[in-house]
Structure formats: C-alpha cells, structure tokens
Amino acid sequence: MFFSLSQILNWLIIYKYLVLFPIAVIEGPIITIISGFLVSLGSLNFLTAYLVLISGDMVGDLFYYSLGYFGRIQFINRWGKYLGFKLEQISALEKHYSKHGGKTLLLGKFTQIGGGPVLVTAGIIKMPLKKFLFYNFVFTVPKSLVLLIVGFYFGQAYEQINKYYNKIGLIITILLFIVLGVYIFWRLLKKRSS
C-alpha cells in the first residue's frame, strides 16, 4: 500500500465517499473494514458505503480482467514465463475456466495474492464478460458485507486485522499452490505410467 492506513483513515473522515471509491478500486478488503469502523462512528452511512465498496471492488476486478483481455498476447509473451504458461496452454485454461470458472474466481477473490492473476487469466482466456461480472458480483456482495460488519464491530483494531488478513491470505495461497503442485505432479506421474 502506498499510504499508511492512518492516512487513508484521515482522508475517509474528511472526504468520505469521494476517496472511498478510488481507494476501494485499488485496495478493497482493509478499506472495507476501515469503512465499517467509520460507519460505527457515524462518519459513513452503512448502505452508501456498502454500495460504493461493491462498485469499487467490481471496477478493480474489471481492470484486471481488461489487462488480460486486451493485453493477451503481450501479457503472455512478457509475463507468461514467470506465471508458468505459454500461448499454447490457453486452450487448457479455457477448458478449465469453462468447467470451473466460478470456483476459480471464488478462490481468487478470497486469497490475497491469487486474486490478480486469476482475474487477469479470466481476461486472457476471454471468459464471457457477463459470466465474469456475474460471478464477481455474487462473490463480492457477501464478502464486502462480512468485512463491513467486521469493521463495524472490530474496526478500531484495523491495523491488527490487516496483518491477520494478510497472513491468512498468504497461508491460503500457499496451501492452494501446494495442492496445485501435488495435482500437477500426480498428472505427470499418471501420464508417464500410461
């Protein structure tokens, strides 16, 4: 994050929704918790903050999707080697997203590190925009509500919550990579034995 949480809190107290939306586009979860805290203090309206946070989160997700969609070839040529895929693997990703797109987006939304790559990949494989927006909306609505409520009741500890949220996100991401690694290893062994 470019600014401290206390600086962002001050901006939200002074400028309210004017800064809430752009900050929610960039950094959703902790801003949602801080917003819940400000709702508990009476600085923000619950429903207005909730709608602005959902909108900001959706715009941020759409930005990542657009990066993949419009920069498909350039993105893969430049960054594919770091992410472990090449142009030839797009058809496999398309099959995966057609079968498991919703589950993949859900995992991306609930992991701190995996969200961006999952959203960009949805754009790269040109997941239908309506499907992408539907799944993201369905997952964003309850996630934002839960985080807003957590902020309402426990928001005064937003810095500690941010640390724990980041640690939990990192643990989930590591576990997902381990499961993915085991799955790939198993598939390779299965392929060699056939």
Q: Which two tokens stand for residue 7?
A: 């600086």
Report the pLDDT value the prediction gives residue 26, as an integer from 0 to 100: 86
Report the pLDDT value the prediction gives residue 75, as an integer from 0 to 100: 72
* Tally of domains in the chain: 1
Report the pLDDT value the prediction gives residue 31, as an integer from 0 to 100: 87
CA distance 168 to 185: 26
Report the pLDDT value the prediction gives residue 72, as an integer from 0 to 100: 75
pTM: 0.74
Give the C-alpha distances (Å, rounded to integers) separating 68 from 47, 75, 83, 104, 134.
Answer: 32, 7, 13, 16, 18
Report the pLDDT value the prediction gives residue 193, as an integer from 0 to 100: 74
Q: Residue 26 corresponds to which amino acid?
A: I
Report the pLDDT value the prediction gives residue 13, as an integer from 0 to 100: 84
* End-to-end Cα distance, the chain: 49
Distance of CA 33 to the CA centre of its chain: 15
> CB within 8 A of 90, min separation 6: which ones?
76, 124, 125
Dump the DSSP string for 86-108: -GGGHHHHHHHHHHHHHHHHHHH
Residue 135 is part of which domain span?
A: 5-193
Report the pLDDT value the prediction gives residue 155, as an integer from 0 to 100: 65
Q: Which two tokens stand for residue 168?
A: 């939990």
**Residues of the chain predicted below pLDDT 70:** 1-3, 5, 82-87, 112-114, 155-177, 179-180, 183-185, 194
Report the pLDDT value the prediction gives residue 166, as an integer from 0 to 100: 60
